[in-house]
Amino acid sequence: MRTSLQAVALWGQKAPPHSITAIMITDDQRTIVTGSQEGQLCLWNLSHELKISAKELLFGHSASVTCLARARDFSKQPYIVSAAENGEMCVWNVTSGQCVEKATLPYRHTAICYYHCSFRMTGEGWLLCCGEYQDVLIIDAKTLAVVHSFRSSQFPDWINCMCIVHSMRIQEDSLLVVSVAGELKVWDLSSSINSIQEKRDVYEKESKFLESLNCQTIRFCTYTERLLLVVFSKCWKVYDYCDFSLLLTEVSRNGQFFAGGEMIAAHRILIWTEDGHSYIYQLLNRWAQMGAVYKTFSGLSKSLYPVDGRVLKESIYPHLLCSTSVQENKSRPFVMGYMNERKEPFYKVLFSGEVSGRITLWHIPDVPVSKFDGSPREIPVTTTWTLQDNFDKHDTVSQSIIDYFSGLKDGAGTAVVTSSEYIPSLDKLICGCEDGTIIITQALNAAKARLLEGGSLVKDSLSHKVLKGHHQSVTSLLYPHGLSSKLDQSWMLSGDLDSCVILWDIFTEEILHKFFLEAGAVTSLLMSPEKFKLRGEQIICCVCSDHSVALLHLEGKSCLLHARKHFFPVRMIKWHPVENFLIVGCADDSVYIWEIETGTLERHETGERARIILNCCDDSQLVKSVLPIASETLKHKSIEQRSSSPYQLGPLPCPSLQVESSCK
């Protein structure tokens, strides 16, 4: 039985970062779903008047979200699927916000398409996935297990984009994909269902080399059932679906990079770029414009369907009808999409999500027209919104817990807390501030006063101490006694932006010692484990922003070792008590082994040896980082199935904490 864990989140004034990497609108046009680099998904309400409001933040991924797609027939079950950089996949119910299924596969997806043919398939449908692996994977939409795959007989390669073509005429479905090498491949979809279910090899029906690279989107025109739009980063092309002959190529101007497109009506195309601009083109027939009858030119054309009266080969050209207005000073890349509502109120919506966390919507008119003089009309932004807008709309707890003590008068702004530490045994909350002061207050009383009793607080009733010793923002704090009861209860360490580490006596408020490391900001303060003692005492380890590691001996008030040779950020610290080694694991998967007594670098290992060394030692300490970076050592083909435990949790105010994944 799945248990649901509910937690209460306290939001401050500032919204959490949400750098949008994927965006979609659900079929009922009521919800916008965005996936972010931080690993969270956000559900936004979309009202009938096209007003946006953030609804929920879903925590389920520990790496950047790569794509979103619907995972069921939306009218039956409002499920969507999200995939992340580290292979995690989650199926969410967007109405309740619950995660209904979760799996981690050794595949990184860049696009997912849902497919279900109820009269030929059993089960809930398939997720056709493509990404940083060869060909197309078929994953069961309910269990998230790999069912089978579509294989290429010729030039198997990664696939950039896919689309499912449903032909009404012959009631057959096909899968069209374009590979990274620019090859278009077609697989029979509906007629391969049996083969797939019986795990027989399914190869492509045909393929064609498209002579352009970096395909972004492929779309089939459902209105004409004839045209195929393929958007590359530097050009877009229209093909005739019947024989894949090239009808039109339009190259990008002004150095713009195309990011996607859609056929929004018969002969009408919407193209959007990486910097958020979009253009609507009408495809016009050149000969018809000239007033010539097709028959005169039939000898020149290679039309396969003369009965339909249209000369198709290289005779259509795009006419720019409209473009959308975009606010300047936006940073790329934008992720965009287009949605066509088939129910009331029949909106055609172009939407975009940005790295800054902003969503913008444009309402596309049913019949876009250019201006009277033929120049393109501009479509204005209909609505734009961010998470911060939701925060600004509501009354927030405008002051932080320590504002009363920070020495600032009313109206002078709030003290910015840059690091904090809670000591349960003493009921103390230690806050390091941006101006270098450290404030120590009674934790529970302060929280109670701030949150429960509101503003009617008498300042003097809460005792607090202000420690002044740093001149720059305090970046890290450590209370040694909390980690090892053998150490002095009065000791506290703080590190600041200027590489200064101060050892305090928190009872007498005096500075016991100052260490000057000259290594950039002190990003982390750690302590060696109990069994690792040098000269009878556990050692303090400081990780600095220049990637160096300093070891401090508190009793002797000395710096034992300053390891400065690391090129890349430090990710892990390990201790080897027998040989007195400090083992530093860096972000480039290499390991530096330092001999503490002599202060020399004993060894530098990379690759497999580094991995073995890190795995061998116990007592590793992970160095906290703001953005968890996905582990690159994927075990190929080892499929871990984890049970899902749905929960929603808001972020905790201190930005340096990692949020644990929902699978525990």
Q: From 116-124, 393-401, 443-451, 543-551, give the range in contact with other proteins by CB under 8 A.
A: 543-551
Tokens, residue 257: 């990079």
Interface pattern 128-167 for other proteins (x via CB under 8 A): ----xxx------------------xxxxxx---------
If the CB atoms of residues 37 and 384 are measured against other proteins, the closer one turns out to be 37
**Contact residue for other proteins among 143, 197, 388, 545 (CB under 8 A):** 545
Name the minimum Å distance from CB 632 to other proteins.
5
With tokens 């919800």, the residue in question is 31
**Contact residue for other proteins among 88, 101, 250, 589 (CB under 8 A):** 589
Q: From 70-78, 168-176, 312-320, 470-478, give the range in contact with other proteins by CB under 8 A.
A: 470-478
Is residue 416 a contact point for other proteins (CB under 8 A)?
Answer: yes
If the CB atoms of residues 29 and 273 are measured against other proteins, the closer one turns out to be 273
Is residue 459 a contact point for other proteins (CB under 8 A)?
Answer: no
Q: Are 582 and 563 in contact (CB under 8 A)?
A: yes
If the CB atoms of residues 152 and 174 are measured against other proteins, the closer one turns out to be 152
Name the minimum Å distance from CB 565 to other proteins.
13
Is residue 637 a contact point for other proteins (CB under 8 A)?
Answer: yes
Is residue 331 a contact point for other proteins (CB under 8 A)?
Answer: yes
Name the minimum Å distance from CB 156 to other proteins.
7
Q: Are 25 and 335 in contact (CB under 8 A)?
A: no
How far is Cα 473 from Cα 463, in angstroms, rounded to an integer? Answer: 23
- Give the chain's length: 664
Rg of the chain's alpha carbons, rounded to an integer?
30
**Contact residue for other proteins among 3, 6, 122, 329 (CB under 8 A):** 329
**Contact residue for other proteins among 403, 434, 509, 537 (CB under 8 A):** 434
**Contact residue for other proteins among 10, 172, 209, 641 (CB under 8 A):** 209
Q: Are 129 and 83 in contact (CB under 8 A)?
A: yes
Name the minimum Å distance from CB 339 to other proteins.
26
The string of DSSP letters for 44-68 reads: EEE-TT--EEEEEEEE--SS-EEEE
The string of DSSP letters for 311-372 reads: --TT-EEEEEEEEE---SSPPSPPEEEEEE-SSTT--EEEEEE-TTS-EEEEEPPSS----T
If the CB atoms of residues 53 and 154 are measured against other proteins, the closer one turns out to be 154
3-state secondary structure 410-461: CCCCCCCEEEEEEECCCCEEEEEECCCEEEEEEHHHHHHHHHCCCCCCCHHH
205 closest CA partner among 239, 245, 170, 244? 244
If the CB atoms of residues 88 and 183 are measured against other proteins, the closer one turns out to be 183
Name the minimum Å distance from CB 342 to other proteins.
35
Going from the C-alpha of 259 to that of each of 275, 277, 336, the distances in angstroms are 9, 10, 8
If the CB atoms of residues 292 and 416 are measured against other proteins, the closer one turns out to be 416
Site for other proteins in 360-389 (CB under 8 A): none
* Beta-bridge partners for 183: 209
**Contact residue for other proteins among 568, 597, 598, 641 (CB under 8 A):** 568
Site for other proteins in 55-114 (CB under 8 A): 85
> What residue type is 209 in one-letter code?
F
**Cβ count within 10 A of residue 483:** 14
96 closest CA partner among 646, 644, 643? 646
Q: Residue 190, SS3? A: helix
Is residue 244 a contact point for other proteins (CB under 8 A)?
Answer: no
Is residue 607 a contact point for other proteins (CB under 8 A)?
Answer: yes
Name the minimum Å distance from CB 134 to other proteins.
7
Interface pattern 479-498 for other proteins (x via CB under 8 A): ------------------x-
How far is Cα 183 from Cα 175, in angstroms, rounded to an integer? Answer: 14
**DSSP secondary structure letter of residue 484:** -
**Contact residue for other proteins among 198, 344, 460, 632 (CB under 8 A):** 632
If the CB atoms of residues 64 and 303 are measured against other proteins, the closer one turns out to be 64
If the CB atoms of residues 204 and 589 are measured against other proteins, the closer one turns out to be 589
Q: From 305-313, 500-508, 526-534, 587-595, give the range in contact with other proteins by CB under 8 A.
A: 587-595
Is residue 251 a contact point for other proteins (CB under 8 A)?
Answer: no
Nearest 5°: the CA angle 396, 401, 404 is 110
State the first-to-last Cα distance of the chain, in angstroms, to the nearest integer: 15
Is residue 509 a contact point for other proteins (CB under 8 A)?
Answer: no
Say if strands 377-379 and 359-363 run parallel, antiparallel, or are unpaired: unpaired
Name the minimum Å distance from CB 157 to other proteins.
6
**Contact residue for other proteins among 473, 476, 494, 661 (CB under 8 A):** 473
Number of residues that bind other proteins (CB under 8 A): 60
Is residue 499 a contact point for other proteins (CB under 8 A)?
Answer: no
If the CB atoms of residues 519 and 582 are measured against other proteins, the closer one turns out to be 519
Interface pattern 253-272 for other proteins (x via CB under 8 A): --x-x---------------
**Contact residue for other proteins among 49, 635, 643, 664 (CB under 8 A):** 635
**Contact residue for other proteins among 112, 184, 280, 355 (CB under 8 A):** 355
Name the minimum Å distance from CB 402 to other proteins.
17
How far is Cα 502 from Cα 512, in angstroms, rounded to an integer? Answer: 8
Is residue 625 a contact point for other proteins (CB under 8 A)?
Answer: no
Helix then strand then coil, % of the chain, to nearest 5: 10, 45, 50
Interface pattern 19-48 for other proteins (x via CB under 8 A): x-----------------x-----------
**Contact residue for other proteins among 188, 341, 389, 435 (CB under 8 A):** 435
How far is Cα 104 from Cα 641, in angstroms, rounded to an integer? Answer: 7
The string of DSSP letters for 96-153 reads: TTEEEEEEE-S--EEEEEEE--TTT--SS-EEEEEESEEEEEEEETTT--EEEEEB-S
How far is Cα 208 from Cα 114, in angstroms, rounded to an integer? Answer: 24
How far is Cα 71 from Cα 141, in angstroms, rounded to an integer? Answer: 6
How far is Cα 441 from Cα 461, in angstroms, rounded to an integer? Answer: 11
Going from the C-alpha of 552 to that of each of 489, 523, 555, 573, 577, the distances in angstroms are 18, 15, 9, 15, 16
Is residue 414 a contact point for other proteins (CB under 8 A)?
Answer: no
Is residue 169 a contact point for other proteins (CB under 8 A)?
Answer: no
Q: Are 161 and 216 in contact (CB under 8 A)?
A: yes
Name the minimum Å distance from CB 11 to other proteins.
19
If the CB atoms of residues 553 and 611 are measured against other proteins, the closer one turns out to be 611
Where b means 16+ CB within 10 Å and e means fewer, 246-266 reads: bbbebebeeebebbbbbbbbe
Interacting residue ranges for other proteins, rule: CB under 8 A:
19, 37, 85, 132-134, 153-158, 180-183, 209, 211, 214, 233, 255, 257, 274, 329, 331-333, 355, 416, 418, 434-436, 471-473, 497, 520-521, 545-547, 567-569, 587-589, 606-608, 615-616, 629, 632-633, 635-638
